[in-house]
Amino acid sequence: MTARDWLLTDTPGSRRQASFGHWYRNWLAFRGNPLAMVGFAIVLALILIAVLAPVLPLQSPTLQSLSTRLQPPGAGHWFGTDELGRDILSRVAWGARITLTIVIMVVVIVVPIGLLIGTISGYIGGAVDVVLMRVTDIFLAFPRLILALAFVAAIKPGLESAIIAIALTSWPPYARIARAETITVRNADFVKAARLQGASPFRIIWHYVVPLCTASVIVRMTLDMAGIILTAAGLGFLGLGAQPPTPEWGAMISTGRDYLLDQWWVATIPGIAIFVVSLGFNLLGDGLRDVLDPKRS
């Protein structure tokens, strides 16, 4: 029996095999979508570069060399150098770490909060629902970048503040999605059966409702990544995100702007990095939606 047969069997012999088989089927469906695979490859590359940046044969991203400043892309510096003679390739690679940190941190904060508020609101309903959803509305009413700006301006600019600011403005849609999904399953027979068995509301939410919300939330999350990256870059551009000399992509564009006409690569290369990674996450999200969306027949 090949591994494929073991995974695709309709008669799995253990819990592990059943769940592996489930994921393998999803993977097969996902693999059939070429654009999604492109997105997946980009995201995988981002992760690899971010993880491997310290061991790659790169210059230090902060090593200044005023004698070789503003070099065009060439053999010595594939992506050229910036106004302080730092290697842009190295800075972009190290910048991937920052971008990935921001994205992961935001997701780690936002998804649990969104899921928690959304499922509780949807499952319990009544006054709890009204209160939680009005709070959500308040956060939803602020333009994202402006709230983040105000928040960062109020505390000190920096990477942590940027993460908190972005998280603060991005959880409401997750709460909304989780609530909508919860309401559709709240009165399902399998939830009634769980109530009959004496399952606590917490158990019902965690074991029955959350697994059905995660698909939508994951899809939304990957589609949101581009927005998060852009907001982070925006904050960096305005000098409110990561502080120099940290090689943050947005901040790199901001400094490169002064040389845009004569030394285009200083601003353009990190711009392309932002574009490619955002696109990658969007393609991945679209592909995941096709595979995971519970509403597909």
Partner 1 sequence: MTAPMIEIDGLGISFGKGARRLNAVRDVSLSIAEGEAFGLVGESGSGKSTVLNAVAGLIGDYSGTIRIGGAVVSLSRSHAQRRLIQMVFQDPYGSLHPRHTVDKILSEPARIHGLTNVEKRVERALADVGLKPEHRFRFPHQLSGGQRQRVAIARAIVLEPRVLLLDEPTSALDVSVQAEVLNLLRRLRRERGFTTIMVSHNLAVVSYMCGRLAVMNRGRILETLASADLAAGRFDHAYTRQLFRASSGYDRELLQDLWEEA
Binding site for partner 1 (CB under 8 A): 10-15, 17-19, 22, 188-190, 192-199, 203, 207-208, 211-212, 294
**Residue 146 CA: distances (Å) to CA of 68, 166, 169, 253:** 38, 10, 10, 20
Give phi and psi for 81, each to the nearest 5. -125, 165
Structure tokens at 131: 């209160």
Between 212 and 219, name the residue whose CB sits nearer to partner 1.
212
Q: How far is the CB of 277 from partner 1 (least distance, A)?
A: 31
CA-nearest of 267, 291, 276, 204 to 38 is 276
- Cα distances from 225 to residues 18, 34, 252, in angstroms, run 31, 20, 20
Place of tokens 């992506």: 79
d(CA 280, CA 197): 45
Q: What burial class does residue 10 get, using C-beta atoms within 10 Å of its C-beta: 0-12 exposed, 13-18 middle, 19+ buried?
A: exposed
Residue number, 111 or 233, with CB nearest to partner 1: 111
Nearer to partner 1, 17 or 64 (CB): 17
Q: Do 72 and 263 form a contact (C-beta atoms < 8 A)?
A: yes
Find the shortest distance in angstroms from Cβ 21 to partner 1. Answer: 9
Rounded to a whole number of angstroms, the minimum distance from the CB of residue 215 to partner 1 is 9
The distance of closest approach from Cβ of residue 204 to partner 1 in the complex, given in angstroms and rounded to an integer, is 10
Q: 66 or 196: whose CB is closer to partner 1?
A: 196
Burial category of 138 from C-beta neighbours within 10 Å (exposed 0-12, middle 13-18, buried 19 and up): exposed
CB nearer to partner 1: pick between 11 and 67: 11
Cβ-based nearer residue to partner 1, 9 or 60? 9
The SS3 call for residue 81 is strand
**CA 257 to chain CA mean position, Å:** 27
What does 168-226 look like in DSSP terms, one character per residue? HHHHHHHHHHHHHHHHHHHT-HHHHHHHHHT--HHHIIIIIIHHHHHHHHHHHHHHHHH
Q: Minimum distance between the CB of residue 116 and partner 1, rounded to whole angstroms?
A: 19
Q: How far is the CB of 71 from partner 1 (least distance, A)?
A: 55
* Closer Cβ to partner 1, 143 or 198, answer by number: 198
Nearest approach, Cβ of residue 295 and partner 1 (Å) = 12
